[in-house]
Structures are given as structure tokens and as C-alpha cells.
Structure 1
Amino acid sequence: MKFIAQPQISEEEISLVSSTIRNGQFVEGKNARALEKEFAEFVGAKHAICAVNGTAALHLAMEAANILPGAEVITPAFTFIASANSITFGGGIPIFAEIDPETYTIDPESIKKLVTPQTKAILPVHIFGLPSDMNIIRDIAEDHDLVIIEDACQAHGAKIDGQHVGTFGDMGCFSFYATKNMISGEGGMIVTDDDDLASRIKSLKNHGRGPSGGYEHHRIGYNYRLPDPLAAIGLIQLRKLPSMLEKRKRNAEALRQTISELEHINIQKTPIGYTHSHYVCAPVVDENKYSVDNVIKELKARNIASRRIYALGCHKQPTYLQGIKEWRWNMYVNYPDYSTVNLPITDRISENHFEVPIHPGVTETEVEIIKNALKEIFG
């Protein structure tokens, strides 16, 4: 168990990639189209559009939503920095909200307090594979005429009352990075039910081309296409995803049961009706009783991979404390002083969580080893 994540690649992926290369299909093509079709069906969306990675997917969604320089987008700070950066790329302003202390997802009450006339969108993050409270977030968005872009990059398979995340808002973004529940090495997907948004995204990702392609360009665009050999990996991975999710669930629930019996350690709460996709299992320790660094050290001594993932919230990253001053949009956009952002719950979770492996390659025997290690450390 030396690895937090371990891609589950079989001869099926290798065979399709090999035939794709032999046939000269290097650029986005039929594998990408098949992946889009099957992914749309998997999440229950009308459209699914491939992108070169999850960050590009988020960037395309921001562009498609017309988030202009100076527009505010509310998002949690407890997330990978790509969530915030996707707002900043086009001159938008990330406004960092507090998280719920039990679910670690964005707190709707915090969102309500942060809405201003400059607010244009909400970017909830389904952190570790647990859905944000999308029903309340949707109500807030409707009350203030805000766009919702869901960051579902960690949440393939996550649902609320049977509805897949990514389909509650205007757009949902997924990542197929090599650690995710399903992978393509690098890759991403945007889903939407809106025909106009889908058309805009398809153009933006392909140098601003129109539906007919060729060398006629209608808008400023990017090259965010997904190479077909990578789409081939993603296509096979998607077909294997249900079985991989079951293994993740098996491993996570076994650890959850053990952690629930221990003192001074808690695990992310899954509300009733929510389906966790178990991308990450990251318990939180009571900082008054345990040092998370010592816990990680103890786990590694037992040959169990462990780490803090987001030890710094985005609001405390050098990017937003210093780097933002050198960002090109800083000449035109009045960014807040992020050093004054006060998010005590985010800080506590960031400083006191640790990850243990639950990927499909972790066997039931290895889960028992992790359980016993936690009992020894916290017993």
C-alpha cells in the first residue's frame, strides 16, 4: 500500500489505445465521440463535451458562462487550486466561502452572506466525491439569478437522491486525471442540458470553429481537444467504472465503520439520500489530542501511504496571497486582500486531515491492515 492512488489499467485499455495509434487516430475523433455519448448517458445529461483535462473543462465552463473580468464567483477554499484558478484565468474574482464542518463541502449559509451585486456564479466543489448541498445552492442561485458550475472533478458516480452530480447546475465539470475514479491519463468532460452552452463550449475548445469545422473561426478559442488515444483509455474506464466504484465503496465503508468506533478522529459525513463516490477517504483528527503529522508518520512506518491533500486552503496559497499581485488581470481587476479572509473551519480541516488508500487496487486484506493500524494509533 505504498500508493494513495493506483490506476487500474488492463489489456482492454492497452488494446484499444494500440489499435487507435495503429489506425493513425491521434487527434480527437471517434473514441472521444463514443466517450461523450456514453458519459452523457452515465450522468443523465443531454450533452457531454470532452476536454484535455479537468482544469480546461472548468475554464471552458467559465468562458461559456461569460464570466467577465471583475465578476465574482463564490467557491470553497478547501479544494484543489484549479477550482479557484479557473475563475481567475479570465479575470473573475474567486470569493472563498466557508465549508460545513461535517461534510467539508461549501456551506450554503456562507454563500448567502457573500452574494453581492458583482456575484455572477457559484462554483460548488463535490469534495472527495461527496455532493455539495445542491438543492439549497440551486435555490440561492435562482433567488439571485446566478449561474451554477459544478466542480465534479472528484465525483464520478456521486448522486443526490439518484440524480448524478454535474446535472444540478448549468454545467458540470469532471476530470479524468490519473488518480481519479476513472482516468484517461489527462482528460476532462463538461456536461450540460443547455444546447447553446454546449455549442459554445464545442467552439471554444476548438479554436473558435463552427460546427462544420475547417478553417472558419467564429470566436477567440483554445486548443482543449482530447487526443483520441487518451479518449480510448477513458472509454474503457467508463465501462469499468461501476465495478471500480463498488470496490471503492467496500473499502471506504469498512474504514468508516472502524473510524466511527474510535475517539478523537472523525470522517466526512454523508447525508441521507447522498451517494458518495469515494474518491478520497480523509479522516480528521482532534488537534488537541493528536498531531496529524505524527499520524501520517505512524501510517507510513506501517507501509501505509498517507498524506494531507489540501494542507493549505486556496485563500492561504501563495498564489492568492502574493502571486495574484503579479497576475495580468490585477492591472484591471480589484482583487480582495486574501490575507484577510477568515475561514476557521476550512483551516481546521485543512490542517488536521490525512488520507488513506481506498482505490480499487486495495484488497480486503489490506483494508484490514489499515483498520488495525488506525486502532493501534487511536486506540
Structure 2
Amino acid sequence: MEAFLAKFLPVCEPLLAGNELAYVTEAVSTGWISSAGKYVKAFEEAFAQYCGVKHGIAVSNGTVALHLALVALGVGKGDEVIIPDFTMMASALAVCYTGAMPVFVDADTETWNISPAAVAAKITPRTKVVMPVHIFGNPCDMAALESICADKNIILLEDAAEAHGASFGGKRAGGLSRIAGFSFFANKNVTTGEGGMVVTDDDDLAQACRYYKNLCFPLDAPRTYLHADIGFNYRMSNIHAAIGLAQTERADDLKQQRQAHGLLYRERLAEIQGVCLQQDQPGGENVFWMNGLAVTPEYGRSRDELVAYLKEQAIDTRLFFNGMHRQPALEKYGCDCRGAYPVSDMLADNGFYLPSGSGLSNDDIHRVCDVVAAFRR
């Protein structure tokens, strides 16, 4: 009965407490609901400025943001793109869309990000891009990755889908590589519901992204409806951009809330034997998109038992990603799924994340941690 009466804690819900409704209402009331409205450009400019770069190109989701960035870089059949094994499937799919081959690298045991040492071991003459993912908002060791890529004349492309406002060495995610892709899915620190953005300082790459995202219509000439290249309909609507602009206006506040929650989770969960936590990347600023843990044998219960118990207590969770080397679709595509990925496997088999939305209260977090602590055997 107690669990039935308990407040349900979703794993992550958006916090829409700024100008979102006002901007969307203005877009709807004026009829500007397509990609031609004023909020698209305003959002692109505001978010690019937030990342510390010159250009933002708004698109319909984070997966296509990565695909568009890869297309702008000229990635195609015969190329290899190194990605983390421990990541969301979208990272690999964006590479597959180009005809290139994703190559997997195991995670670091502490930060759970791509291991730079393992990256160096996977480079071949076909490697064109290294695409690190800032897992759960924890920035990668970009200095080590940049050094590896510079030595081999390889392009560094950030998958910053989970890292709005994160930084490394004093520079924000999105400005740590030649080009980057973000997601604005509903659970992200900055959201548009569905949406994404490519950000870059490179004028030519920005122009290429704008060209390819809109069916390859000419950028500076009248539309004759003759298309010189194969393009994509990756446009973002004015309504989504209106939400994104309002979110960007409060991006630092949203980040600080997630960070405060992350530190409280870390403080409480560190007290519980058998709980393994992600560690911050030295030199980086973690924005705690998600607060995850991996259950070790010392906990006395399995991951799945704990997840089921949390559900009984009206606390929502999500399992960690399955490694890319385990994905049937990628094996079918032709990826090399052989080899050992022990860290990725450990996280996939034992990890999950807890409620992490920006609107959580401290009491909510204490309640979650109390349940995790009480269930330990």
C-alpha cells in the first residue's frame, strides 16, 4: 500500500519553466510553425554562442545531427569511424547511414567514456574520424584524443548528445572538436522535445550542413527545383526551436540543477557497499545528464532485482546501453564484433540509471537512495 501511495518518480522529465509556452504560443498564433520561422535562427545563434562556437545548424534529432556532420566531413564507403562500444545505438547508426564502418573501442573503467589508449590501438589506414561520446554528461579526455588524431591526421567529431554545458579544459562541449552534434530529446539537459543541432567554428562545414539538411536546395540562389546533390530533409520546426530558445535562455540554471543533483546522488550512493559510480574525467566539468550506477557482487542483489524493487516503490529507472559489439544489426551490417569489451559488458550487465530530471527535489533523491540502501543484503 505504501508503494501505491508513493509519489511516482519518472526517470527523467523535462523542466519547462521559462518562456517555452510564450514562444510556442507566438509561433502558433502567427502561423509560423514550419522551419521558416524566426525561432529557428534565434535558437541556432543562441545555442552556438552557449557552446562558444560560430555556427549552429538546427535539425530534427540528434542522430541526424551526427549523420549530417559526417556527410559534411565527406565520410563514406571505405572509411572507418571509431566510436565507443558503450554508447547509444544512434552513434553507430549515424556512421552506417554514410556507408562507412563503425569501429568499437571499450570504455575506461572509471569515467565510462571511450578509452584513448584503446582508440590508438584501433586506428588503421582507413580511419577518417574518431567520434567520442561524452557519456552521461561526463566529458571525454579530449586532450588525449586530440593528440592521437593530430598525429594521424584524423578528424575529431564530438557526439555531445548528452553533454549540454559540459566542459573540458575550460572549453564547452561542442567547441572541443572540429564539429559536434547535440540531441534535444525530452530527457536532455536542454530539450526541444525532439531535435538536434550541429555546431562548428568551420564556415565551410557549416555551409555544407545547411545545404545537405534542406534537400540540397541552393543556399544563395533562387529555387529552380533542380537538385545537384542527394540531400536530406533534416529541418527543425519553428515550434521546436521556440522551446529550444527558451531552454537555452536557462541552460546554465538547468545545468546547475543537474550538477547539484549529481553531487547529492554521489554523496549518498558512495555510502552503499556494492554500488559502482562513474568518476569525473580529470580536467572536465560533468553535467550529470544521467545518474547511473553499476551493481557489484558486494551489494548482495542483482541489478535486475534492484530495478524491480525500485519499480515497486514507484521509482522509474532505465537500463544502461548494450555494447555495440552485441548489436545484431551492426553484425549484420558487417561490423567487426569480435574481441573483448569487458568494461562495456560489465556496465551493460550491471548498470542502470536513476531518476535524473532537472525538476527533482533533494527529498526525491534522498528517497531513491534510501530505497537503494535498504534493499542491499
Range of TM-score over shorter length: over 0.9
Letter in structure 1 aligned against 2:375: I
User: Would the aligned equivalents of 2:141 and 2:281 in 1 still touch at CA under 8 Å?
Assistant: no
Indicate yes or no: 2:330 matched with 1:320: yes
Task: Provide the residue aligned with 1:332 in structure 2.
Answer: none
Indicate yes or no: 2:265 matched with 1:255: yes
Task: Provide the residue aligned with 1:181 in structure 2.
Answer: 189
Structure 1 gaps of 5+ residues are: 325-334
| Counterpart among 293, 303, 316 of residue 283 in structure 1 | 293
Displacement of 1:344 after TM fit? 1.2
| Counterpart among 355, 366, 370 of residue 357 in structure 1 | 355
How many angstroms apart in 1 are the aligned matches of 2:183 and 2:201?
A: 19
Matches within 5 A, 1:49-68: 49-68=57-76
| Counterpart among 153, 156, 168 of residue 176 in structure 2 | 168
Closer/same/farther in 2, CA of residues 257 and 213 from structure 1, 3 Å limit = farther
Displacement of 1:218 after TM fit? 4.1
Task: Provide the residue aligned with 1:302 in structure 2.
Answer: 313
Deviations 1:162-191 (A, max 9, x none): 210121211111011111111111111111
Given the two structures, how large is their TM-score scaled by the length of structure 1?
A: 0.93
Deviations 1:290-345 (A, max 9, x none): 310011112222221122131x21221221234x2xxxxxxxxxx3442x232111
Task: Provide the residue aligned with 2:144 in structure 1.
Answer: 136
Displacement of 1:134 after TM fit? 0.6
Matches within 5 A, 1:207-286: 207-212=215-220, 214-216=222-224, 217-286=227-296
How many angstroms apart in 2 are the aligned matches of 1:59 and 1:48?
A: 15
3-state DSSP class of the match of 1:181?
Answer: coil
Structure 2 gaps of 5+ residues are: 1-7
How many angstroms apart in 1 are the aligned matches of 2:105 and 2:297?
A: 23
User: Would the aligned equivalents of 2:18 and 2:247 in 1 still touch at CA under 8 Å?
Assistant: no
Of 217-226 and 93-102, more deviation after overlay is shown by: 217-226
User: Would the aligned equivalents of 2:81 and 2:131 in 1 still touch at CA under 8 Å?
Assistant: yes
Indicate yes or no: 2:374 matched with 1:376: yes
How many angstroms apart in 2 are the aligned matches of 1:94 and 1:221?
A: 22
Displacement of 1:11 after TM fit? 6.8
Letter in structure 2 aligned against 1:230: H
How many angstroms apart in 2 are the aligned matches of 1:58 and 1:93?
A: 14
How many angstroms apart in 1 are the aligned matches of 2:81 and 2:297?
A: 32
Letter in structure 1 aligned against 2:126: Q
Pairs aligned (count): 366
User: Would the aligned equivalents of 1:287 and 1:352 in 2 still touch at CA under 8 Å?
Assistant: no
Matches within 5 A, 1:27-66: 27-28=34-35, 29-66=37-74
How many angstroms apart in 2 are the aligned matches of 1:241 and 1:173?
A: 17
CA RMSD across the alignment = 1.5
Task: Provide the residue aligned with 1:124 in structure 2.
Answer: 132
How many angstroms apart in 2 are the aligned matches of 1:337 and 1:247?
A: 40
Letter in structure 2 aligned against 1:303: A
| Counterpart among 341, 347, 356 of residue 343 in structure 1 | 341
Query: Structure 1: which 4+ aligned runs deviate by more than 4 Å?
Result: none
Identity among equivalent pairs (%)? 33
Given the two structures, how large is their TM-score scaled by the length of structure 2?
A: 0.93
Letter in structure 2 aligned against 1:263: Q
How many angstroms apart in 2 are the aligned matches of 1:287 and 1:228?
A: 50
